[in-house]
Amino acid sequence: MSMSSPAAGAPSPSGVRRGGDHYQDLFVWAAAMRLVQRDSPFTALEVEARGVGNVDDVVLRGRNGADEFGQVKWSSKAGALLDEDFMTGVRAAGGTSLLQKLYGSYQKLRPAEGHGAHPTLQLITNRAADPGHDLLGHIDGRSDLLIPYAADQRSTSKAGILLAGWATHVKAERHELLEMLEHLRFTTGRTISGETERIQALMASVGLHSNHQSLEQGLSAAAAWVRNGLRTVTPQDVEKDIDRLGLQAGEPKAVLLVQAIDRDGHPEDATAALDWVDLFEGNAPRERTHPRDHRSWETMQQELEAAVQRLENAGWRKMVIRGAMRQATFFLVGAAAPRTRQWGLSYMQRRGSEAGHIWNTETPRVLVPQPIAQSTPVEAGNELAVVINFALDATPAVVSYVRQAGLHVREVLSLTPEEGAHDQSVAGSGEAICYVQHLINAIRRQIERHPSTERVHLFLAGPGGLALLLGHRWNRIGATTVYEHLGTGVGYAPAFQIP
């Protein structure tokens, strides 16, 4: 996908329209990918659908009648918020507000009592929800719903009074508005860069090429559906365009979503999803370095291994990894779906400020020099500490921690790229594969020199994809403890045990 140049000024009306169209195309093509995923619950995609009110931009028809209706709202202003004015403001005399349109659409689509599934409505926007709003500031991060928060508010509270005002605004009773809110997902803060990477991962899961050129071709196909009036798109229509564009690259993959330190904006994409956010200390991703209860590390490991086993039992042997996690968790995911069990893994890895690229365990290796090995004696036992120094030199911090924690370590083995540690030390998937082979060989050689080595203590500082690939190929090394970094000057914590 071509990268845009920095804006030179305020966008023209035409520029705003084109930006909005491009933004909508992202969600249309993403819906198309969900339509052709293996075991998809959907039968058709409708674009600018007729007869569904104002939630007509992106519609997915469910096999069991549980349809999803999306209204896409784009703002060219990065700081624009989903706030009271955006929800209830009326832009023209005699017009209706967004909230009125959403409520009217729900009333049009809701089934008669006892006759079918309720629709799911989505308000999709790049606007962030107003954090100071008494209702919109309390959208549930797990479900994107205002329920149960709105339903739990007393009528005399600020939120309760605001809710009553909304009900009056749409000419409904409180319970009628709450019913609509129970089925309205606020899909907010969806940036173009974030949605681009999400779609690339979806394309990989369908077995398509997922580079920027392939994505651009897919978005062009989605735009053509709108231009040519193809309002109902079947799986066969999508597959025809995939074949016409030559996008097919291989077999489908499961999507494993690991939400360790932050929740994903699209858990609905996943074949299997794990949510550990509430297990961690901290109110923001950067603060979530360790769980409140140290026993939760074991819980997370058990849940991950069970999820991988379920996927394996269902016949999957390839999967795309998504989710916000730290180094130790990346390694654990790779170790839970190892190469020795014929798993193939893919992950969208960013390199510095560049757009993300898929790293794949099956990529042919690209030759790189062996990392430089340096040993720091500790002489406190027969165990080996290993530091993977790729993003930064963590050796001093690790040596200090090993000594202070009283680990039974003989030496600390540091492995660093020849050109030194920095945040762009691995150029791509092929280099990562080669580096992983070098790293494992270096660790094995050190263990062979000291056959009495009882355990490896592993400390990681590098790209998440490198930790994932290292865990995937971690074999014939022996009992390993993987550590998580708690922050500069804070030290480390033992996280996962690899037999």
Q: Is residue 201 part of a domain?
A: no
pLDDT at res. 117 = 85
The alpha carbon of 302 is separated from its chain's Cα centroid by a whole number of angstroms, namely 21
Residue 2: predicted pLDDT? 45
Residues 94 and 115 in one domain: yes
Q: How much is the pLDDT for 4? A: 47
pLDDT score, position 352: 61
| Per-residue pLDDT tens listing for the chain (499 residues) | 444 444 555 666 655 677 889 999 999 999 999 999 999 999 999 999 999 999 999 999 998 888 999 999 999 998 999 999 999 999 888 899 999 999 999 999 998 766 778 999 999 999 999 999 999 999 998 899 999 999 999 999 999 999 999 999 999 999 999 999 999 999 999 999 999 999 999 999 999 999 999 999 999 999 999 899 999 999 999 999 999 999 999 999 999 999 999 999 999 999 999 999 999 999 999 999 999 999 999 999 999 999 999 999 999 999 999 999 999 999 999 999 999 999 999 999 987 656 678 999 999 999 999 999 999 999 999 999 999 999 999 999 999 999 999 999 999 999 999 999 999 999 999 999 999 999 999 999 999 999 999 999 999 999 999 999 999 999 999 999 999 999 999 999 999 999 9
166 and 264, same structural domain? no
Strand partners, 280: 291
Separation between Cα atoms, residue 390 and residue 461, nearest integer Å: 6
The pairs formed by 43-49 with CB atoms below 8 angstroms and a separation of 24 or more are 43/234, 43/235, 44/232, 44/233, 44/234, 44/235, 45/232, 45/233, 45/234, 45/238, 46/231, 46/232, 46/233, 47/222, 47/225, 47/226, 47/230, 47/231, 47/233, 48/226, 48/231, 49/231, 49/232
**Alpha helix segments (H runs only) across 71-208:** 84-88, 98-109, 149-152, 158-169, 174-181, 192-206
DSSP 3-state assignment of 144?
coil
Q: Is the pTM of this model over 0.75?
A: yes
Please give the pLDDT value at position 94: 86
Are 24 and 154 within one domain? yes
Q: Which of 313, 336, 360 is the last residue of a domain?
A: 360
Residue 222 lies in a domain: no
366 located within any domain: no
Q: Are residues 44 and 138 in the same domain?
A: yes
Same domain, 345 and 399: no
Q: Considering the domain boundaries, does residue 272 fall inside one?
A: yes
Task: Return the CATH number at 467.
Answer: 3.40.50
| Overall number of domains in the chain | 3
The answer as to whether 413 is a domain residue is yes
- Give the Cβ contact number of residue 228 at 10 Å: 8
Both 273 and 312 in one domain: the answer is yes
Report pLDDT for 353.
Answer: 59
Q: What is the model's pLDDT at position 350?
A: 84
| Residues 294 and 380 occupy one common structural domain | no
What residue numbers bound the domain in which 69 lies?
Answer: 13-187
223 in a structural domain = no
Whether 338 and 384 map to the same domain: the answer is no
Is position 119 within any domain? yes
473 and 385 share one domain: yes
Q: Which of 297, 327, 360 is the last residue of a domain?
A: 360
Residue after which a domain boundary falls, among 335, 360, 385 = 360
> What is the DSSP secondary structure assignment for residue 94, as one 8-state letter?
T
Shared-domain flag, residues 428 and 463: yes
d(CA 423, CA 295): 32
Do 70 and 140 share a domain, yes or no? yes
* Structural domain contains residue 248: no
- Asked whether residue 310 falls in the same domain as residue 404, the answer is no
